[in-house]
């Protein structure tokens, strides 16, 4: 009997890098026509089921498997962001090093692009939302605010204008937009706001301002669900805070807490 699975990963350090043991899956073939947007998943995408298993030696740090099972995203040996094809392990990488938030990598529904923010939580510096298109290997900053990515928290706090810190991108199901969480760090009240931005470029627009006046309320990946609802979590680090937990938001309605933490 076939067993449904996404990915099984084991890696070890060695002279070449981690050894990735990955379950080869039955996924939609590459090159299928897109349905409604430039990054939409194929309409006849198949369910993932284990078909085979083999080890892959990757010169770098593999982090995330694409939805179609044909690509692996991660960090190269020089800490550049890279994507490897599973068959040949040929890397496609950014030109520069990026201190990305490794737990925030978000694949486009059709597996042709990857979105990620910078690692604000550990670096305590400014962050934008980037999209890396595998072909032709181009990188776009969708929320470029003209501020140096290395600016520190202390400098953010001293800024005369609010500095937007953007984290946790989530792809719309049709692949045309990204939703992300924004905190205007130097603002008098650092309220976390959910924003959307077109993948093709444009000004971000507000989707939902969270009721709790607290910075960086979103601290784990968000996901758009079938049916048009957004799943996200709130965490304030305040003991007994009633807003902490899992929430679902359907645009045009009110957020609903489905589980307290």
Confidence (pLDDT) at 25: 43
Length reported for the chain: 261
What is the distance between the alpha carbons of residues 22 and 59, in angstroms, rounded to a whole number?
15
**Buried b vs exposed e over 109-131: b needs ≥16 C-beta within 10 Å?**
bbbbbbbbbbbbeeeebbbbbbb
Residue with tokens 């067993």, as numbered in its chain: 3
CA angle 128/193/236 to nearest 5° reads 100
Averaged confidence pLDDT in the chain: 80
Residue 50: pLDDT band with limits 50, 70, 90:
low
Confidence (pLDDT) at 79: 86
Q: At a CB cut-off of 8 Å and minimum separation 6, what does 230 contact?
A: 170, 179, 194, 207, 222, 223, 224, 248, 249, 250, 251
230-249 pLDDT, tens digit per residue, is 999 999 888 888 999 999 99
Confidence (pLDDT) at 140: 94
Measured in degrees and rounded to the nearest 5, phi and psi for residue 151 equal -65, 135
pTM above 0.95, yes or no: no
Q: What is the mean pLDDT of residues 199-224?
A: 91
126-184 pLDDT, tens digit per residue, is 789 999 999 989 999 999 988 766 667 677 667 677 888 899 999 999 999 999 999 98
What is the distance between the alpha carbons of residues 182 and 187, in angstroms, rounded to a whole number?
12
Confidence (pLDDT) at 27: 42
- For the chain, give the percent of residues with pLDDT over 70: 74
Confidence (pLDDT) at 21: 47
Q: DSSP assignment of the chain, as one string?
A: ---B-S--------SS-PEEEEEEE--PPTTPPPSSSTTPPPTTPPPPBEEEEEEEE-SSEEEEE-TTSSEEEEE-TTSEEEEEETTT--EEEEEEE--B-GGG-EE-TTSSEEEEEB-HHHH-B---EEEEETTTTEEEETT--S--TT-BHHHHHH-SS--EEEEEEEE-TTSSEEEEEEEETTSSS--EEEEEEETT----EEEEE-SS--TT---S--EEPTTSPEEEEE----TT-TT-EEEEE-TTS--EEEEE-
- The number of CA neighbours under 13 Å toward the Cβ of 54 is 9
Q: Is the pLDDT of residue 225 over 70?
A: yes
What is the distance between the alpha carbons of residues 238 and 217, in angstroms, rounded to a whole number?
11
Residue 5: pLDDT band with limits 50, 70, 90:
very low
Q: What is the mean pLDDT of residues 77-99?
A: 89
Q: What is the mean pLDDT of residues 101-108?
A: 91
Q: Is the pLDDT of residue 254 over 60?
A: yes
Q: Is the pLDDT of residue 259 over 60?
A: yes
Q: Is the pLDDT of residue 28 over 80?
A: no
Give, rounded to a whole angstrom, the gap between the first and last alpha carbons of the chain.
37
Residue with tokens 């070449």, as numbered in its chain: 16
Residue 186: pLDDT band with limits 50, 70, 90:
confident
Confidence (pLDDT) at 46: 57
């Amino acid at each position: 009997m076939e067993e449904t699975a996404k990915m099984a990963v084991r890696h070890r350090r060695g002279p070449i890098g981690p050894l990735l043991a990955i379950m080869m899956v039955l996924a939609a073939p590459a090159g299928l026509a897109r349905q409604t947007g430039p990054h939409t998943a194929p309409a006849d995408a198949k369910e993932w089921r284990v078909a085979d298993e083999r080890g892959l030696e990757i010169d770098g740090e593999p982090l995330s498997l694409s939805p179609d099972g044909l690509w692996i995203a991660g960090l190269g040996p020089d800490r550049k962001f890279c994507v490897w094809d599973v068959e040949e392990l040929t890397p496609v990488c950014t030109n520069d090093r990026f201190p990305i938030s490794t737990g925030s990598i978000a694949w486009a529904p059709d597996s042709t692009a990857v979105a990620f923010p910078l690692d604000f939580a550990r670096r305590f510096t400014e962050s934008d939302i980037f999209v890396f298109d595998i072909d032709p290997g181009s990188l776009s900053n969708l929320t470029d605010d003209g501020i140096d990515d290395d600016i520190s928290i202390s400098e953010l706090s001293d800024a005369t204008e609010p500095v937007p810190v953007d984290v946790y991108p989530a792809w719309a199901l049709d692949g045309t937009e990204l939703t992300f969480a924004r905190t205007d760090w130097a603002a008098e009240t650092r309220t976390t706001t959910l924003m959307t931005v077109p993948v093709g470029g444009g000004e971000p627009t507000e989707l939902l301002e969270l009721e709790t006046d607290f910075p960086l309320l979103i601290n784990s990946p968000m996901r758009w669900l079938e049916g048009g609802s957004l799943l996200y979590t709130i965490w304030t680090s305040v003991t007994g805070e009633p807003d902490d937990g899992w929430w679902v938001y359907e645009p045009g309605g009110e957020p609903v807490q489905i589980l307290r933490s």
